[in-house]
A and B are shown apart, each in its own frame.
Chain A
Amino acid sequence: MVALLPCICINRKALKQEAGSELLYEMKGALELLQRVSAHADASCWYVAWSPAGTLLASCGGDRAIRIWGKEGDSWECKSVLADGHQRTVRKVAWSPCGKYLASASFDATTCIWKKTNDDFEFLTVLEGHENEVKCVTWAPSGNLLATCSRDKSVWIWEVDEEDEYECVSVVNSHTQDVKHVVWHPTQELLASASYDNKVCIYKEEDDDWGCRATLEGHESTVWSLAFDPEGQRLASCSDDRTVKIWKESTPGDGSTDESWKCVCNLSGFHGRTVYDVAWCRLTGALATACGDDGVRVFREDPTADPEQPVFFMSAHVPKAHGQDINCVSWNPKEAGLLATCSDNGEFAIWKYNSDS
């Protein structure tokens, strides 16, 4: 592990935001590098995920391994290596809400479930069924449901019971292409998916049947990731089209059950390349992005703007946060301002974000 000098950028004028009007905000925030870790040697680090307690960080990568990192004094050390679960790249990892289980999604078409025992993890079971690479796995807040998605264009919903038995309860084929990401709503049993077909789908269970209830169109290329805001009222999506879009559900006043999602904010002109990930902080409401131009950015919401037309401005930006593409960005769920990023160069980095530097 190499400790580098902290990288801070302060007091730079933010770019004008696309919305027809020239809005200039001072970029008052700062991102300070706390630690850089070489996590997956000679391979991409594809994803990092904080444990619900915020004390552990799971990373996964092209070396087919999952690593669990914990803090020892001031530095993050590797606590466990889960190396024998997958035959190909591990693309994403996800913690169960209780923190006792870890799920891993792999290009080998399987999803592994690991159980935390004392200080280590043991393999519990494997979820099979997807025809090819699994791109994402995510746990519902209730802890009883999981969702996975794949290049086979489908989204699978799994139920887990008290005996650690996993069963697929639904396979939904709403996308016409590779599904990149799935994420659960923070409070409702509602799922969103992002796809290579440039669309976002929203799923709800109605009459024991999971189905796509809304399709969000607007991105001009692959949608790579999604994040709900802390209250679950808005959804952020990021894309290969270099934009981040914010969507809000609107219920028509006439009492009909027709729900539609509208794009209420479009963050354009900030990212130089594909935006691979977006993360919405549960504690502060700050929005972070991971970009193929090697930069990490934090956006804040203008509190004076109309809630139906939110305004986001760039608060902090580290242009070369890593030497290669940033694949993932993740806010620590317990410590406000603590941010993790990971990159194609096999590294992850821990940052401290301050909104007013």
Chain B
Amino acid sequence: MSGGTRLENANPLIFQRSGERLLTATDEDEDLADPIDDREIFDILSNQKPHLRSCFLNGLSRTLTSLHLIRSISDPEHPLSLEELNVVEQMRVNVNDEESTVSVEFTPTIPHCSMATLIGLSIKVKLLRSLPDRFKVLLVSSQTHLINKQLADKERVAAALENSQLLEVVNQCLSTRTM
């Protein structure tokens, strides 16, 4: 999956948040030929490191706010995370490395269907870009089946991401702010 974004690098794990820089093992490793550490990727998606997860959601909420898609109730320079804004209530993640499967369940609380689809699409793209090709990704919204069927349809997802406007919005949602 291609697409111009700052996250399209060998290590998708670098996030900067409020001056805090999270270094990863490959960051410190001089040998760039090392494969992506699967454990690190699992951690980013698992509930074990909620602050990493909310970094991603932060970027998502910033873009949605700047696009006036959700009313900002805080200082736009320090937007609240999606969870704090009650846009996504929770994200349940299940990873099986041996079977190469990842399933993520998210609960969007925004009643507007296309918003939930955009959030879902962004999460799906994030997963597809972060994981090795062998992984099968299942992303479900606990709220509505209509979104789930679209997100599970890889032909629909691929075609949607060829729409440059939509791709730009998704990339903005996934971008991280450099301080």
Contacts and interface: CB of A to CB of B under 8 A. Distances in A.
A196 interface: yes
Question: Which of the four size classes fits the interface of chain A?
Answer: 20 to 34
Chain A binding site: helix, strand, loop or mixed by DSSP?
A: loop
Interface in B29-45: none
A40 interface: no
B36 to A, nearest CB: 16
Contacts of A277: none
B134 A44 contact: no
Interface string B1-21: 010000000000000000000
19 contacts: A62-B158, A88-B159, A88-B162, A89-B158, A89-B159, A107-B159, A132-B159, A178-B156, A180-B155, A196-B149, A196-B153, A222-B153, A240-B152, A273-B136, A292-B136, A324-B134, A325-B154, A344-B133, A345-B133
A42 interface: yes
A355 B136 CA distance: 31
Contact of B158 (A44, A132, A222, A323): A44
Interface string A77-96: 00000000000110100000
B159 A151 contact: yes
A117 B111 CA distance: 56
Interface in A207-234: 221-222
A1 B2 CA distance: 23
B162 A89 contact: yes
A56 B50 CA distance: 53
Nearest to A221: B149
B70 to A, nearest CB: 28
Interface size class of B (residues with CB under 8 A): 10 to 19
B97 to A, nearest CB: 16
Interface string A173-198: 00000101000000000000000100
A135 interface: yes
Interface of A: 42, 44, 62, 88-89, 91, 107, 132-133, 135, 151, 178, 180, 196, 221-222, 240, 273, 292, 323-325, 344-345
Interface in B146-179: 149, 152-156, 158-159, 162
Given A88-B162, A273-B136, A323-B134, A42 B155 contact: no
Contacts of B136: 273, 292
A132 B149 CA distance: 19
A91 B158 CA distance: 11
A292 B153 CA distance: 11
A344 B156 CA distance: 14
A107 B162 CA distance: 8
B159 A222 contact: no
A352 B95 CA distance: 36
Nearest to B2: A42
Q: Which of B133, B152, B159 has the most CB of A within 10 A?
A: B159
Nearest to A43: B2
The 7 closest A-B pairs by CB, nearest first: A107-B159, A88-B162, A133-B159, A107-B162, A324-B133, A323-B134, A89-B162
Contacts of B154: 325, 344
B96 to A, nearest CB: 13
Interface string B117-137: 000000000000000011010
A240 B152 CA distance: 9
A46 B133 CA distance: 16
Nearest to A177: B149
A151 B134 CA distance: 28
B149 A222 contact: yes
Contacts of A132: 159
Contacts of A44: 158
A64 B153 CA distance: 20
Nearest to A88: B162
Contacts of A62: 158
B53 to A, nearest CB: 26
Given A42-B2, A196-B153, 16 more contacts: A44-B158, A88-B159, A89-B159, A107-B158, A107-B159, A178-B156, A180-B155, A196-B149, A222-B149, A222-B153, A292-B136, A324-B133, A325-B154, A344-B133, A344-B154, A345-B133
Contacts of B155: 91, 135, 180
Nearest to B101: A273
A265 B156 CA distance: 29
Contacts of A107: 158-159, 162
Contacts of A178: 156
A180 B153 CA distance: 11
